[in-house]
Amino acid sequence: MSYNIHHANPPSKASEGTIDLDAVAAAIKLQSPDLVALQEVDVNTRRSGGINEAVLLAQKLKMNFYFAKAIAHDGGDYGVAILSRFPLSDAKTFMLPKNNDLKAEQRVLAIAKVEIDKNKFIRFASTHLDAERTNENRMMQAKEINRLFSNETLPVILGGDLNATAESESIKIFDSLFTRTCRDCDFTIPVIKPTKTIDYIGYKPANSFKVVSHKAISEHYASDHLPILSVLEYKP
C-alpha cells in the first residue's frame, strides 16, 4: 500500500485542525497490507497535538516502522514512513535534490531491508516528490532515486506520492528503471470525485514480481488522497 495521509487531518475538517489517526489506521487495517509507504507523516508537531504519528500507527496496526524526516515543522518533524508486517533492518534516509527556489521543500527517500521469509529479503521504499508546478525538481528527484537503486541486487518495491501524472517527464524517468503496478491507473486525487493519478507503486527488476491486482481504495474521509493497494506475487 501507498498512502499520503495528510498528517491525519481529514480534508472535511481541515479548518478545525482535527487529527483523526484512527481513521487512517482503520483505512490501512481494512486492507491488511504487508507493507505500507506513508507520506505526509507528522512526528511531535504542534498542529498534530504533539503525537508521533509513525509510532502510533505502528502500534495501532501491530507493525514495524521506520520514519524518515524531510523537514523540521511546527515544533516537530515531517516526512515519510514505512510500515511492515515483516522485520525491518538497514533502514536509511536519503535527501533528494532540489533547485534554489525558496518554495521548494526538501524531499526524502526512505529505504528499508525487509525479511519477507526466512533469509529472503527485499528492499521497500517510500517517497514524496516535489509538489511545485514545474517538473524540474521531480525530474531531478526521480533521477536520483533511479541512481540510488541502479546497482541494488535485492528486489525493490517503492511506493509514493510522485506528484505527477503518467505522461510527465518525471514518471517517464521513474519508468526507465521501475515497473509500475498499473498502467491505466485508478485516479487518486482529489479524494472526492478524483480526476488524476499521482500516487504509484513500482518494482524492480521487472521479473521479480507478478502483479496480481492494483486499485485505489474508496476511502474518502481520512486524507486528501486515496490509498492505493497492489497485490504482488514474489518470484524468487
**Domains of the chain, residue spans:** 2-234
Output the CATH code of domain 2-234. 3.60.10.10
- Cβ count near 175 (within 10 Å): 16
Long-range contacts of 166-174 (CB under 8 A, 24+ apart): 166/197, 168/135, 168/138, 169/135, 169/139, 170/129, 170/135, 170/138, 170/139, 170/141, 170/142, 171/142, 171/200, 173/139, 173/142, 173/143, 173/146, 174/142, 174/145, 174/146, 174/200, 174/202
- Cβ count near 173 (within 10 Å): 21
Can you tell me the mean pLDDT for 132-148?
A: 96
Sign of the dihedral defined by the CA atoms of residues 131, 154, 232, 33, in that order: negative
With 80 as the cut, is the pLDDT of residue 184 above it?
Answer: yes
Question: Is 12:221 a contact under the CB 8 Å cutoff?
Answer: yes
- Per-residue pLDDT tens digits for 202-226: 999 999 999 999 999 999 999 999 9
- Per-residue pLDDT tens digits for 46-96: 999 999 999 999 999 999 999 999 999 999 999 999 999 999 999 999 999
Sheet order of strands, 64-73 included:
64-73, 76-84, 35-43, 2-4, 228-234, 209-216
Per-residue pLDDT, 103: 87
CA nearest neighbour of 215 among 187, 178, 190, 236: 187
The three cell numbers locating residue 144 = 536520483
The three cell numbers locating residue 49 = 497535538
Give the N- to C-terminal CA distance of the chain in Å, as an integer.
21
3-state helix, strand, coil in the chain (%, to 5): 20, 40, 40
Per-residue pLDDT, 227: 98
Question: Distance between CA 79 and CA 51 in Å, rounded?
Answer: 14
Instruction: Give the three-state DSSP class for 220.
Output: coil
Question: Distance between CA 54 and CA 168 in Å, rounded?
Answer: 31
How does residue 235 score in pLDDT terms, banded at 50, 70 and 90?
confident
In the predicted model, what is the mean pLDDT of the chain? 97
In one letter, which amino acid is 93?
T
Per-residue pLDDT, 86: 98
With 90 as the cut, is the pLDDT of residue 14 above it?
Answer: no
How does residue 102 score in pLDDT terms, banded at 50, 70 and 90?
confident
Can you tell me the mean pLDDT for 149-153?
A: 97
- The least confident of 15-19, 30-34, 49-53, 145-149 is 15-19
In one letter, which amino acid is 37?
A
